[in-house]
């Protein structure tokens, strides 16, 4: 039998006070308090509650035949026991109830970059807003209060979307009550837990976040029924996921660099997008990394249209923007390499992203064989490049796929 650390002793003391009568409590309290003092010198319980580990073997104290035989049968809770442990064989599960809210506006979610709190399990990650229940609160009451406290916004239209069970070997378990909200009033304020920012939904998967968050973000986008999702982590690695009780296949999905305009981002020269359902559907198979080389190169949106003219890139008004396109291409390559992308789906005909055919630089809509600046650079580094009409190249592993025009 294993004797737990100080955390288990303290939990046991609380349970004894609840479930047993005075004579037993009197004897056990003295023993437990003594052992807490000894064990905490090893476990650092008061400073590192979540790090308490089982370290001591139980001694055969109180094992006197015919007397107090119930005492060694009490189950002491600890990190190696099921969360919350059990008393006399009956499981008592303890988990923190929290809310997690994704406020929507114009195809974007209001996200919180958690950078300000110390000892934060979400440190440096992007998450929705929310927090712990206060005594007596319902999920909806907690959600409305947390939204107001963290953002200054009063939510007027919201939906309860699901429950996420978060289990970790490093952090306390949570039941996260998941909401989306599409209506709100008020002005956004500064949050004392991090930086708030409106992030386009198609860009979310590229941000630093818990791996399991990407599962429920996809569920939210599918607008399905209420769901229950269990996520179990070993450190920061997602070790298990179950949706409505059924295991989900895990595994690192291949990452794919994609022109952001094809995913619906309004970053084209005219300030519009060129959303393509075939490309967006690739999110079922790949982890999509959105990119706009023109914006990465410092060009504004909207902007004067450009075309490639030999080794130069010029705008319709004659301005030379070759350097912007070169910087954007290098930034796109860096992004590709940082994420380990082996392939890219880029917008056809573009002076940056076009592959196989581009406009000839006369602004007469005449197409010639050639690649955009970014496409050419990626290909030179051995990265598979195709346009939205050449997606078969992803399966064939071709170095390029000509446009179907």
**Which ranges of 205-361 would DSSP assign to H, the alpha helix?**
211-222, 277-280, 293-296, 322-339
- Both 280 and 229 in one domain: the answer is no
- Both 266 and 328 in one domain: the answer is yes
From 59, 91, 123, the end of a domain falls on 91
Give me the number of domains the chain comprises: 3
Residue 171, CA distances (Å) to 8, 53, 139, 198 in order:
16, 13, 22, 28
For 142, the domain range is: 96-247
Residue 189, CA distances (Å) to 152, 194, 201 in order:
5, 11, 21
| Range among 42-51, 107-116, 153-162 with highest mean pLDDT value | 153-162
Residue 401 domain-assigned (yes or no): no
- Both 287 and 358 in one domain: the answer is yes
* Per-residue pLDDT at 304: 96
* Per-residue pLDDT at 122: 78
Q: What's the CA gap between 347 and 276, in Å, rounded?
A: 10
Assign residue 123 the CATH number of its domain: 3.90.79.10
- Both 53 and 178 in one domain: the answer is no
Q: What's the CA gap between 197 and 317, in Å, rounded?
A: 35
From 58, 73, 91, the end of a domain falls on 91
Q: Are the C-beta atoms of residues 78 and 8 closer than 8 Å to each other?
A: yes
* Per-residue pLDDT at 46: 46
Q: Which residues pair with 358 in a beta bridge?
A: 349, 368
Residue 404 domain-assigned (yes or no): no
* Per-residue pLDDT at 136: 94
| pLDDT tens-place string over residues 13-55 | 555 555 555 555 566 666 656 555 554 444 444 444 444 433 3
Residue 402 domain-assigned (yes or no): no
Q: What is the pTM of this model?
A: 0.46
| pLDDT tens-place string over residues 238-263 | 899 999 998 887 766 788 999 999 99
User: Mean pLDDT score of the chain, rounded to an integer?
Assistant: 80
Q: What's the CA gap between 346 and 276, in Å, rounded?
A: 11
Residue 253, CA distances (Å) to 128, 341, 377 in order:
23, 11, 24
| pLDDT tens-place string over residues 176-202 | 999 999 999 999 999 988 899 999 887
> How much of the chain is in helix, strand and coil states, percent to nearest 5?
30, 30, 40
pLDDT tier, 91 (very low <50, low <70, confident <90, very high otherwise): very low
Please return the burial class of 131, using the count of CB atoms within 10 Å of its CB with bins 0-12, 13-18 and 19+.
middle
Helix (H) and strand (E) counts for the chain? 9, 21
Which distant-in-sequence residues (6+ apart) come within 8 Å of 152 by Cβ? 186, 187, 188, 189
Mean pLDDT calculated for residue range 117-132: 84
Q: Which residues pair with 184 in a beta bridge?
A: 155
Q: What's the CA gap between 351 and 334, in Å, rounded?
A: 19
Residue 54 has, within 13 A of its CA and on its CB side, a CA count of: 13
- Both 241 and 260 in one domain: the answer is no
Q: Give the range among 145-159, 234-248, 259-273 with minimum mean pLDDT.
A: 234-248
- Both 239 and 330 in one domain: the answer is no
pLDDT tier, 110 (very low <50, low <70, confident <90, very high otherwise): very high
């Amino acid at each position: 039998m294993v004797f737990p650390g100080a955390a288990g002793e303290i939990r046991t003391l609380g349970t004894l006070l609840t479930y047993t009568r005075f004579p037993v409590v009197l004897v056990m309290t003295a023993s437990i308090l003594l052992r807490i003092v000894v064990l905490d010198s090893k476990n650092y319980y008061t400073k590192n509650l979540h790090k308490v580990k089982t370290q001591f073997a139980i001694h055969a104290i109180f094992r006197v035949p015919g007397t107090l035989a119930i005492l060694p049968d009490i189950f002491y809770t600890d990190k190696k026991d099921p969360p919350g442990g059990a008393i006399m064989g009956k499981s008592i599960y303890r988990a923190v109830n929290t809310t997690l809210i994704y406020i929507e506006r114009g195809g974007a979610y209001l996200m919180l970059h958690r950078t300000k709190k110390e000892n934060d399990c979400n440190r440096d990650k992007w998450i929705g807003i929310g927090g712990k229940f206060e005594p007596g609160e319902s999920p909806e009451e907690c959600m409305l209060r947390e939204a107001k406290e963290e953002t200054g916004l009063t939510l007027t239209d919201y939906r309860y979307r699901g429950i996420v069970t978060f289990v970790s070997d490093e952090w306390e378990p949570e039941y996260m009550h998941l909401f989306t909200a599409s209506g709100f009033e008020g002005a956004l304020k500064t949050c004392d837990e991090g930086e708030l920012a409106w992030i386009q939904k198609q860009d979310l998967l590229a941000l630093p976040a818990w791996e399991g968050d990407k599962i429920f973000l996809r569920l939210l986008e599918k607008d399905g029924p209420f769901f229950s999702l269990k996520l179990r982590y070993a450190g920061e690695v997602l070790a298990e996921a179950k949706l409505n009780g059924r295991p989900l296949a895990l595994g690192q999905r291949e990452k794919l660099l994609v022109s952001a305009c094809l995913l619906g981002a309004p970053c084209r020269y005219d300030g519009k997008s060129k959303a393509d359902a075939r490309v967006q559907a690739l999110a079922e198979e790949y982890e999509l990394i959105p990119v706009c080389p023109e914006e990465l190169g410092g060009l504004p949106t909207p902007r004067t249209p450009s075309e490639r003219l030999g080794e130069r890139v010029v705008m319709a008004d004659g301005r030379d923007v070759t350097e912007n396109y070169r910087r954007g291409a290098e930034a796109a390559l860096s992004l590709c390499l940082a994420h380990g992308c082996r392939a890219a789906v880029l917008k056809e005909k573009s002076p940056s992203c076009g592959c196989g055919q581009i406009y000839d630089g006369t602004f007469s809509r005449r197409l010639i064989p050639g690649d955009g600046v970014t496409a050419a650079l990626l290909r030179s580094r051995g990265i598979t490049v195709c346009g939205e009409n050449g997606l078969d190249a992803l399966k064939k592993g071709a170095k390029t796929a000509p446009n179907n025009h």
